[in-house]
Chains A and B, each alone.
Chain A
Amino acid sequence: MQTENKKGFQVKDLIVTALLSLCALVIYIICAFLSFSPYTMLVVSPLWSLLAAITYFLVAAKTKKPWALFIFCAVTGIYGFYPPMIICCIIAGIISALIAWKTGCTNGKTLTFSYIIYMVLAAFSGTYIPFLFFSNQTLEQYAGMFGESYLGILQTLVSPVTAIIMLVVVAICAFVGALIAKKLLKKHFKKAGMV
C-alpha cells in the first residue's frame, strides 16, 4: 500500500514497534512458564521463536522501516535484563536492519533469514551462554561436592553438543514460525487492510 522508506523517523512507527515488541515479550513470558526445570527450559527458546514470528513480521509490514527492526530486536533484548543477551540482540538488530535496508522490508525470504539469525542469537545469549560458558566453574565446584556421577548429569544438559543441537532446533522453529507468520499476515492483516 505504501511505498517503501517513504519518510524517515516518525513516532507512529516507533509506537507500533514498541507495542509489537511488548507482544513478543508477553509471548516470551508465557513460554517462560515452562522453565520451571532445566529440562523443560530447553523448550522455551524454540517455542518462542515459533510463536513470536508474527510480531517481527508485522513490524516490517506495518512500518516498512529497517530501523524499526533494530529497535524491535534491541528492546526485546533490553527486557532480557541480562547483559550478554542485550549485546547479542543489539547485534541481531543491526544485522536485521542491514538486511532489510538492502533488500526491502517486504521481502519475505530475507525477512525469514534475518528472523532466524535474531532468534538464534537471542537463544544463544539468553539461554545457552549462562549454562554453557559460565557453568564450567560451577560444575567443577559441584563435582567436588557431589561426586563425578552428578557431573555427568549436568554435563549432558549443558554440553556444547546439546547447545548446538538446540540452536539448530531454534533455527528450524524460527523458520516454521516465519512460514506461519507470513500465512497469518496474508489471511488476516492484509485482508483486514491493517498493513
Chain B
Amino acid sequence: MNKLRKHGVYYDSRIKLLLILLTSALAFALGGGLTGLLLFGVVCLFALLSGLWKTSIKVAIVYIVLLMLAQVLPIHLSSVITFFLLRILTIAFALNILFQTTEISELIAALQASHIPQAIVIPVAIILRFLPSLKQDVLYIKQGMKTRGVGLSFWRIVSHPAQTYEGFLVPILMRLLMTATELSASAETRGISYPCEKTHYILVDFRLRDSILLIGMLALFAVIIWTSFQPISF
C-alpha cells in the first residue's frame, strides 16, 4: 500500500517512538564506552529490522570511525567525540528510524488510538505536516532577499544581525498566521471540531508481534542498564 513499508518488518510506530525516548534518556544518563556501544547496537538492530540496510551500514561506519579517532586524537578532541558526538549520533539514528519508515498519518492514528488528547495530537500533526512547507518558505525568503540586494551572507549577518533577523522572521510569521487562518477554516468546514467519536481510515492495532517486539526491546534496555552498573569497562 505504501512505499515506506516495502522492506523489513512492519511494526507499530509507538515502539519506534518509545525507542527514541528510551535512547535519548539513557544515552546521557548512562556511561559511555561499552554501554554506549550497546545502546547503539540496539538502535542498529531496530533499524535493520525496519529494513534500513544502507543507512545502518553508513551510520555504523561513522560510529566506528569516530570511536577509533577517539583512541588516537588528543584528549580535548577525543572527549568531544566520546562524550558528545557518539551519543548525539545514536539519538539521531533512532529518530531517523521513525521518520524514514513511518507515514505521518499512521503515527497520528497511533497517537489517537493511545487516547492522547486531541489538543496535543493536532499540534503534533500540524508540526510534522508544515515542517517541509516552512523549509520552502525560508528558501523563498532567502531568494527574495538575494534578488533585493540584501541577501544572506556571512558578512551581512555579522554587520546587520538585527535587520537580518527581522527581515527573515517577520515574513515567516506573517505567513504562518495567514496559513493558520486558512487551514483552520478548511479544517472547520470538514468537521474537525464536530462533537462525535472520531473514526480512522488507517487502523492501527497493537498485535502480538508488536507485543513480543516491545518485550524484547525492554529486555535489551534492561540488559544495557545492568551492564552500565557493572564495574568492568574497557
Contact = CB atoms under 8 A, between A and B. Distances in A.
Indicate yes or no for A touching B, C-beta below 8 A: yes
Interface of A: 9-12, 14-23, 25-26, 35, 37-38, 41, 51, 54-55, 58, 62, 67, 71, 74-75, 78-79, 81-84, 129-131, 134-135, 137-138, 141-142, 144-146, 149-150, 153-154, 184, 188-189, 192, 194
B48 to A, nearest CB: 21
B180 interface: yes
Q: Per DSSP, are chain A's interface residues mostly helix, strand or loop, or mixed?
A: helix
A19 B83 contact: no
B210 to A, nearest CB: 21
A84 B25 contact: yes
B130 to A, nearest CB: 6
A37 B80 contact: yes
Q: How large is the interface on B (under 10, 10 to 19, 20 to 34, 35 or more residues)?
A: 35 or more
Nearest to A195: B177
> Which of A9, A14, A20 has the most B CB atoms < 10 Å from its CB?
A14
Contact of A21 (B24, B80, B83, B127): B127
Given A11-B192, A12-B184, A55 B173 contact: yes
B69 interface: no
B164 to A, nearest CB: 11
Interface of B: 20-21, 24-25, 27-33, 75-76, 79-80, 82-84, 88, 91, 95, 119-120, 122-124, 126-127, 130-131, 134, 138, 165-166, 169-170, 172-174, 176-177, 179-181, 183-184, 187-188, 192-193, 228, 233
Contacts of B134: 22-23, 26
A19 B124 contact: no
A138 B32 contact: yes
B174 A192 contact: yes
B22 to A, nearest CB: 9
Given A54-B169, A83-B24, A142 B82 contact: yes
A137 B83 CA distance: 12
A26 B127 CA distance: 10
B175 to A, nearest CB: 9
A15 B122 contact: yes
A9 B193 CA distance: 10
B31 A138 contact: yes
Contacts of B184: 11-12, 14-16
A134 B123 contact: no
B123 A38 contact: no
A180 B67 CA distance: 43
Contact of A142 (B79, B122, B123): B79
Given A81-B24, A192-B174, A22 B130 contact: yes
